[in-house]
C-alpha cells in the first residue's frame, strides 16, 4: 500500500476580489504523483482559484489555508511561491515587449537556481540547456530571439507556458485552460509535453472546459467547481459524464 | 484593476523609481553675484563683468528688446506656475582669487564638488578619453586637455574665453542657427547667457577625444543660461557629451540654454546629453525648469548631425533638438529616452527641416512615464519643395508604468514635394500589474522585470550613445529603478 503524501492542501479557502467573495469554503487535497482536473461552468471560480494559489495581489484571502509542501503559504509573495515550486500556466499568457524570450527564460531559470543555492548559468550554457527542452514542445530555436509572447500565435503562447513549466521543473503546476483555443496537433504536442514532464514527485492541476484534453492527459481525479467550491469529485469517467450531460444535473 | 492591487503595484513601482537623488548636495562657496532681477542694466552688467566686446553687448541688448515683446509659449503640454523673471539671479560666479593659469589654481572646493559628481578635473586621473569643460552656475571653472587638443588645432574652451580669443568665429556663427528672436527662451538666453562651451574642429580633423561639458547649478536662486557653440569645419568629426545635475531645493531653478551646432561639408557632429537635473520631490515641489533650444545646421553637403539624449531629471523639460538639413545629402538624427516620474513633465522631441536634396533624417523617441508624470513627444518633419528625394523615418514609443501617468505623441509632418518618403511608427505599451505578476510568477523580481522591460525599450537609443555615456545612462536608469528589496 502506498501512503499518499499531500503536496498541496487547500483548507476552507475563502477569497475575494474587490470585496466580492469568489472562493467559498474550498477544500482540495493534492498528493504527489496525482493529476487533478477541475471543471465547472463559466464563472464558477476556476481562474480565481489558480490566481489565489499563485498569490495574485488583486485577490484577498479572507479565511482558510493554503498548505504547500507542509507549510502555510498564505502570506508569501508570488515570487516566493514560484521559487518553492508552484507554477501557473496562464490562460492568457502575457506579452512582454522588448524582452527576448531567451533572456526571460534564463532570468527565470537563474532566479530559481539562486533560490536553490545552485550556480547560475551563463547565456551559453543556458542556450544548450534550453535547446533540449524546446524539442519537448516542438519549438524551433528561432523562437528564443522573439519577444516574450509578442506576436505569438495562440498555440505558441501555450507551448511557451509548458516550456516554462518544464524549465522551472515545478512541483505543483496549475494549467489554466491550457487546452483552450488549440488545434488538435497543438493539443497533442502540449499533452506530450505534460506527460513527459509528469512523474511521481510532481502534481498537476488541469483547469479545463473540455474532455478532449483528458483523453491525452489522464487525470486521477476530476472535480466539479461551482459557486466557489468543489461540489463533486470523481474519476476520469466523471468528465465523460459531464461532456454528455452538462452541469445542470449536479445542482 | 481594483484599488488594492493598484496599491500594491504602486508601492512596488514607487519603491523602484523613487531612488534618492544622489546629486542633491550644494557647495558653500564665496560668490560674486548680480542682485535678483532683470532689466537692461543687468544685461549691460553681465556683459561688463565678462568684459565683452561691443558687438556682443549689442547682441544681448537686441535680444533683450525682442524678449520684452515676446510671450512665454503656451502650446506645450506643460503646466507650471508663471516664472517671475525678477526673482531670478542672472549672474552667480564663484569668486576667483586671481586669473587662473592652470587647473592647479582652481578652488579646491570646486574641484571637490565635481569630484563628488564623478567628474574628475584632474588630468592625471583621466580614465576615459574625454576632455571636460566644467560649468558651475554662471561660469566655466575649468577646461581640461586644452593643450593636447590645441596640437590638433581643436579649440575647446568656455564660450566666455572664446569671445575674447576668437571674436571672429563667434561673430560669424553665434546666433546663426538659433536667431536671437527664435523663441521666448532663446531670446532670454541671448540676452543674459553667462557661459557654456565652445568647440571648433578645423578642416579634416577627427577630434582625438570626446569633448564634454558638465553643467552644475549650485545656487538656489540663480538661473543658468548657458550657451554652447560647436563648429565642425569640412571633413571634420567630433563627439560631444553633456551632463547636468543640480542640488535639491524646494524652489524651482531656471535653466534656459541654447546649443548651436554647425556642420560644414562632410562634417560629422554627434551630440549626446544625459540630463539629470533635480526633478523635484515626490509631490512635485522644487526641481529645475529645463527650457532649452538646441539646433544643428547641416550646412555642407554630406554633413551629419546626430542628437542623442537621455532625459531623466528636471521638473519641466521643454526641449526639441533639431536639424536644419540644408546641404545636399546631409543627415539628421535624433535618439531620445525621456523618463518622467512623480510630477515631472516633459514635452520633448525634434524638428527635422529638409531643405537640400536627398536629405535624410531619423527620429527614435522613447518616452517612459511613471507616477503622475506627463511625457509628451512633439515633433516636426518638414520636407521643403526643393528637398528632392528626402527621406524620414520616425518612431515614437511610449511606455507607461502604473495607471496614473500620461503619455502623448504629437507628430507633425509637412511634405511639399512628391518625391519624399516618410515613415512614421508609434506604439504605446504599459508595464501593468499583469506583466509584473507574470514576472513574479516565474520567480523574477519586480526590479529585474521592470529593468528588463525598460532596457529592452531603450535599447535602440542606448546603442547610439558613446561608450562612456552608455554606461552612465545605464547606471542612471538602474539607479532610478534599483529597488530597496533584498
User: Lowest-pLDDT range, B67-71, B204-208, B411-415, B477-481?
Assistant: B477-481
Q: Which of A54, A87, A108 sits opposite B444 (nearest CB)?
A: A108
Beta bridge partners of B296: B261, B323
Residue B71 contacts by C-beta under 8 Å, 6 or more apart in sequence?
B184
Q: Which three cell numbers stand for residue B310?
A: 537621455
Q: Which residue of B has its CA nearest to A147?
A: B456
**DSSP line for B136-167:** ETTEEEEE-SHHHHHTTT-EEEEHHHHHHH-H
Q: Which three cell numbers stand for residue B309?
A: 539624449
Mean pLDDT of B190-196: 92
Q: Which three cell numbers stand for residue B26?
A: 550644494
Count other C-beta atoms under 10 Å from residue A42's C-beta. Answer: 7
- Rounded-to-integer distance, Cα B181 and Cα B159, Å: 20
Residue B424 CA: distances (Å) to CA of A4, A56, A216, B305, B399: 62, 38, 48, 20, 17
Mean pLDDT of A111-127: 95
Asked whether the beta carbons of A237 and A249 are under 8 A apart, the reply is no
Domain span at A198: 6-250
pLDDT by residue (tens digit) across B98-139? Answer: 555 556 666 777 677 767 666 666 655 544 566 777 777 766
Which residues in chain A are contacts of B445 at CB distance < 8 A?
Answer: 79, 111
User: Lowest-pLDDT range, B180-189, B214-223, B443-452?
Assistant: B214-223
How big is the A-B interface in CB pairs under 8 Å?
83
Which residue, B359, B346, B348, B269, is CA-closest to B307?
B269
Give SS3 for A54. helix
pLDDT band at B417 (very low <50, low <70, confident <90, very high): very high
What pLDDT, on a 0 to 100 scale, did the predictor assign at position B11? Answer: 47
- Pairing, β B31-33 against β A86-89: unpaired
pLDDT band at A45 (very low <50, low <70, confident <90, very high): very high
Which residues in chain A are contacts of B437 at CB distance < 8 A?
Answer: 56-57, 78, 94
| Contact check, Cβ <8 Å, A168/B9 | no
Please report whether residue A154 resides in a domain: yes
- Rounded-to-integer distance, Cα B480 and Cα B341, Å: 10
pLDDT by residue (tens digit) across B20-44? Answer: 666 767 777 677 788 888 999 999 9
Q: Which of B434, B442, B459 sits opposite A164 (nearest CB)?
A: B442
The average confidence (pLDDT) of chain A is: 93
- Rounded-to-integer distance, Cα B118 and Cα B479, Å: 15
Q: Which residue of B has its CA nearest to A167?
A: B442
- Rounded-to-integer distance, Cα A78 and Cα B444, Å: 10
| Contact check, Cβ <8 Å, B4/A164 | no
pLDDT exceeds cutoff 60 at A82: yes
Q: Which three cell numbers stand for residue A219?
A: 487525470
Q: Which three cell numbers stand for residue B253?
A: 531653478
Mean pLDDT of A1-9: 76
pLDDT band at B479 (very low <50, low <70, confident <90, very high): low
Residue A69 contacts by C-beta under 8 Å, 6 or more apart in sequence?
A7, A8, A84, A85, A171
Q: Which residue of B has its CA nearest to A80?
A: B443
Give SS3 for A198. coil
Asked whether the beta carbons of B255 and B247 are under 8 A apart, the reply is no
What pLDDT, on a 0 to 100 scale, did the predictor assign at position B118? Answer: 65
What pLDDT, on a 0 to 100 scale, did the predictor assign at position B485? Answer: 22
Q: Where are the alpha helices (DSSP H) in chain A?
A: 46-54, 78-84, 101-115, 123-136, 154-168, 184-197, 211-216, 236-245
Q: Which residue of A has its CA nearest to B437?
A: A56
Cα-based torsion angle of the residue sequence B193, B197, B201, B205 in order, rounded to the nearest 10 degrees = -160
Q: Which residue has the higher pLDDT, B292 or B471?
A: B292
d(CA B44, nearest CA chain A) in Å? 53
Mean pLDDT of A237-251: 85
Mean pLDDT of A30-45: 94
Q: Is A213 on the interface with B (CB under 8 A)?
A: no
Count other C-beta atoms under 10 Å from residue B100's C-beta. Answer: 13
Conformation bin of residue A141: beta by default, left when phi > 0, alpha when psi is -120 to 50: alpha
pLDDT exceeds cutoff 60 at A54: yes
| CATH code (residue A223) | 3.40.50.300
Residue B343 contacts by C-beta under 8 Å, 6 or more apart in sequence?
B280, B283, B284, B315, B371, B372, B373
Asked whether the beta carbons of B134 and B218 are under 8 A apart, the reply is no
Please report whether residue A1 resides in a domain: no
What pLDDT, on a 0 to 100 scale, did the predictor assign at position B296? Answer: 98
What pLDDT, on a 0 to 100 scale, did the predictor assign at position B141? Answer: 67
pLDDT band at B404 (very low <50, low <70, confident <90, very high): confident
pTM: 0.82
pLDDT by residue (tens digit) across B39-93? Answer: 999 999 999 998 999 999 999 999 999 999 999 998 888 888 888 999 988 988 7
- CA B291, distance to chain mean position in Å, is 9
pLDDT band at B476 (very low <50, low <70, confident <90, very high): low
Please report whether residue A38 resides in a domain: yes
Which residue, A52, A67, A61, A51, is CA-closest to A15?
A61
Q: Which of A54, A57, A115 sits opposite B8 (nearest CB)?
A: A57
Q: Which residue has the higher pLDDT, B350 or A1?
A: B350
The average confidence (pLDDT) of chain B is: 84
* Most A-contacting residue of B6, B8, B441, B456 (CB-CB within 10 A), to test interface: B441
pLDDT band at B4 (very low <50, low <70, confident <90, very high): very low
| Contact check, Cβ <8 Å, B445/A111 | yes
Q: Is A151 on the interface with B (CB under 8 A)?
A: no
- Rounded-to-integer distance, Cα B174 and Cα B261, Å: 10
- Rounded-to-integer distance, Cα B320 and Cα B338, Å: 12
Asked whether the beta carbons of B61 and B45 are under 8 A apart, the reply is no
pLDDT exceeds cutoff 60 at B371: yes
pLDDT exceeds cutoff 60 at B337: yes
- Rounded-to-integer distance, Cα A180 and Cα A190, Å: 11
Q: Which residue of A has its CA nearest to B3?
A: A18
Distinct helix (H) and strand (E) counts, chain A: 8, 12
Asked whether the beta carbons of B400 and B13 are under 8 A apart, the reply is no
What pLDDT, on a 0 to 100 scale, did the predictor assign at position B446? Answer: 86
pLDDT band at B12 (very low <50, low <70, confident <90, very high): very low
| % of chain B surpassing 70 pLDDT | 83
Residue B151 CA: distances (Å) to CA of A218, B168, B170, B201: 81, 21, 21, 12
Residue B41 contacts by C-beta under 8 Å, 6 or more apart in sequence?
none
Number of domains in chain A: 1
**3 state SS for B73-117:** CCCCCCCCCCCCHHHCECCEEECCCCCCCCHHHCCHHHHHHHHHC
Which residues in chain B are contacts of A164 at CB distance < 8 A?
Answer: 442
Q: Which three cell numbers stand for residue A32?
A: 504527489
Place of cell 560629422: B268
> What is the 8-class DSSP label of residue A181?
T
| Contact check, Cβ <8 Å, A111/B5 | no
pLDDT by residue (tens digit) across B262-271? Answer: 999 999 999 9
pLDDT band at B482 (very low <50, low <70, confident <90, very high): very low
Q: Is A108 on the interface with B (CB under 8 A)?
A: yes
Which residue, B322, B302, B189, is CA-closest to B237?
B302
What pLDDT, on a 0 to 100 scale, did the predictor assign at position B71? Answer: 93
| Enclosing H/E stretch for B52 | none
Place of cell 574625454: B130
d(CA A240, nearest CA chain B) in Å? 32
ipTM surpasses cut 0.90: yes
| Contact check, Cβ <8 Å, A78/B441 | yes
What pLDDT, on a 0 to 100 scale, did the predictor assign at position A5? Answer: 83
Angle between helical axes of B446-462 and B433-441 (0-180°, round to 10): 110
Count other C-beta atoms under 10 Å from residue B12's C-beta. Answer: 23
Q: Where are the alpha helices (DSSP H) in B332-432?
A: none
d(CA A57, nearest CA chain B) in Å? 5
pLDDT by residue (tens digit) across A83-93? Answer: 999 999 999 99
| Contact check, Cβ <8 Å, A115/B438 | no
Which residue, B217, B224, B298, B231, is CA-closest to B258?
B224
> What is the 8-class DSSP label of residue A35?
E
- Rounded-to-integer distance, Cα A55 and Cα B202, Å: 64
d(CA B460, nearest CA chain A) in Å? 10
Top mean-pLDDT range of A186-190, A240-244, B313-317, B469-473 = A186-190
Please report whether residue A188 resides in a domain: yes
- Rounded-to-integer distance, Cα B463 and Cα B470, Å: 8
Amino acid at each position: 500500500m502506498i501512503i499518499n503524501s499531500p503536496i498541496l492542501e487547500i483548507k476552507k479557502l475563502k477569497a475575494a476580489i474587490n470585496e466580492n467573495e469568489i472562493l467559498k469554503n474550498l477544500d482540495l487535497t493534492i498528493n504527489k504523483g496525482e493529476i487533478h482536473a477541475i471543471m465547472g461552468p463559466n464563472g464558477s471560480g476556476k481562474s480565481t482559484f489558480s490566481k489565489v494559489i499563485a498569490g495574485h495581489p488583486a485577490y484577498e484571502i479572507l479565511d482558510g489555508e493554503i498548505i504547500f509542501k507542509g507549510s502555510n503559504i498564505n502570506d508569501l509573495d508570488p515570487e516566493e511561491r514560484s521559487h518553492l515550486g508552484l507554477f501557473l500556466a496562464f490562460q492568457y499568457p502575457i506579452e512582454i515587449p522588448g524582452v527576448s524570450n531567451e533572456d526571460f527564460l534564463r532570468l527565470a531559470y537563474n532566479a530559481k537556481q539562486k533560490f536553490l543555492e545552485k550556480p547560475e548559468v551563463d547565456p551559453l550554457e543556458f542556450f544548450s540547456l534550453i535547446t533540449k527542452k524546446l524539442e519537448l514542445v516542438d519549438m524551433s530555436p528561432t523562437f528564443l530571439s522573439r519577444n516574450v509572447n509578442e506576436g505569438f500565435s495562440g498555440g505558441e503562447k501555450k507551448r511557451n507556458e509548458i516550456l516554462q513549466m518544464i524549465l522551472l521543473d515545478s512541483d505543483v503546476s496549475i494549467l489554466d485552460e491550457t487546452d483552450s483555443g488549440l488545434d488538435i496537433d497543438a493539443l497533442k504536442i502540449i499533452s506530450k509535453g505534460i506527460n513527459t514532464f509528469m512523474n511521481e514527485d510532481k502534481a498537476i492541476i488541469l483547469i479545463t472546459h473540455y474532455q478532449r484534453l483528458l483523453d491525452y492527459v489522464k487525470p486521477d481525479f476530476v472535480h466539479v467547481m461551482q459557486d466557489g467550491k468543489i461540489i463533486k469529485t470523481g474519476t476520469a469517467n466523471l468528465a465523460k459524464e459531464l461532456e454528455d450531460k452538462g452541469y445542470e444535473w449536479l445542482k | 484593476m481594483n484599488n488594492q492591487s493598484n496599491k500594491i503595484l504602486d508601492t512596488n513601482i514607487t519603491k523602484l523609481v523613487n531612488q534618492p537623488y544622489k546629486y542633491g548636495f550644494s557647495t558653500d562657496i564665496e560668490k560674486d553675484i548680480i542682485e535678483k532681477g532683470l532689466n537692461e542694466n543687468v544685461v549691460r552688467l553681465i556683459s561688463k563683468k565678462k568684459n565683452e566686446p561691443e558687438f556682443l553687448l549689442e547682441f544681448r541688448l537686441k535680444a533683450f528688446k525682442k524678449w520684452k515683446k515676446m510671450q512665454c509659449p503656451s502650446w506645450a503640454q506643460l503646466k507650471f506656475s508663471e516664472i517671475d523673471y525678477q526673482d531670478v539671479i542672472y549672474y552667480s560666479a564663484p569668486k576667483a582669487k586671481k586669473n587662473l593659469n592652470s587647473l592647479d589654481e582652481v578652488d579646491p572646493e570646486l574641484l571637490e564638488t565635481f569630484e563628488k559628481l564623478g567628474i574628475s578635473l584632474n588630468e592625471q586621473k583621466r580614465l576615459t578619453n574625454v576632455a571636460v569643460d566644467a560649468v558651475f552656475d554662471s561660469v566655466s571653472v575649468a577646461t581640461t586637455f586644452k593643450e593636447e587638443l590645441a596640437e590638433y588645432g581643436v579649440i575647446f574652451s568656455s564660450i566666455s574665453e572664446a569671445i575674447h580669443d576668437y571674436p571672429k568665429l563667434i561673430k560669424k556663427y553665434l546666433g546663426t542657427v538659433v536667431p536671437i528672436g527664435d523663441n521666448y527662451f532663446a531670446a532670454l538666453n541671448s540676452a543674459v547667457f553667462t557661459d557654456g562651451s565652445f568647440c571648433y574642429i578645423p578642416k579634416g580633423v577627427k577630434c582625438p577625444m570626446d569633448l564634454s561639458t558638465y553643467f552644475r547649478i549650485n545656487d538656489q536662486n540663480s538661473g543658468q543660461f548657458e550657451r554652447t557653440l560647436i563648429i565642425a569645419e569640412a571633413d571634420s568629426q567630433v563627439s560631444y557629451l553633456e551632463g547636468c545635475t543640480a542640488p535639491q531645493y524646494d524652489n524651482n531653478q531656471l535653466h534656459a540654454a541654447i546649443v548651436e551646432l554647425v556642420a560644414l561639408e562632410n562634417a560629422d557632429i554627434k551630440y549626446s546629453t544625459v540630463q539629470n537635473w533635480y526633478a523635484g520631490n515626490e509631490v512635485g515641489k522644487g526641481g529645475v525648469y529645463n527650457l532649452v533650444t538646441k539646433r544643428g545646421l547641416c550646412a555642407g553637403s554630406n554633413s551629419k548631425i546626430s542628437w542623442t539624449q537621455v532625459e531623466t531629471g528636471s521638473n519641466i523639460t521643454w526641449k526639441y533638438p533639431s536639424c536644419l538639413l540644408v546641404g545636399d545629402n546631409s543627415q539628421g538624427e535624433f535618439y531620445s529616452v525621456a523618463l518622467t516620474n512623480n510630477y515631472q513633465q516633459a514635452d520633448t522631441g525634434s524638428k527635422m527641416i529638409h531643405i537640400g536634396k536627398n536629405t535624410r533624417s531619423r527620429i527614435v523617441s522613447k518616452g517612459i512615464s511613471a507616477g503622475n508624470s506627463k511625457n509628451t513627444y512633439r515633433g516636426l518633419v518638414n520636407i521643403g519643395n526643393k528637398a528632392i528625394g528626402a527621406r524620414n523615418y520616425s518612431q515614437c514609443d511610449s511606455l507607461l508604468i502604473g495607471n496614473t501617468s500620461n503619455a502623448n505623441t504629437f507628430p507633425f509632418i509637412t511634405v511639399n514635394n512628391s518625391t519624399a518618403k516618410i515613415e512614421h511608427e508609434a506604439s504605446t505599451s504599459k508595464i501593468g500589474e499583469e506583466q509584473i505578476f507574470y514576472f513574479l510568477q516565474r520567480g523574477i523580481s519586480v526590479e529585474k522585470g521592470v529593468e528588463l522591460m525598460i532596457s529592452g525599450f531603450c535599447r535602440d537609443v542606448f546603442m547610439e550613445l558613446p561608450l562612456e555615456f552608455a554606461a552612465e545612462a545605464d547606471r542612471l536608469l538602474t539607479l532610478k529603478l534599483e529597488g530597496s528589496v533584498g
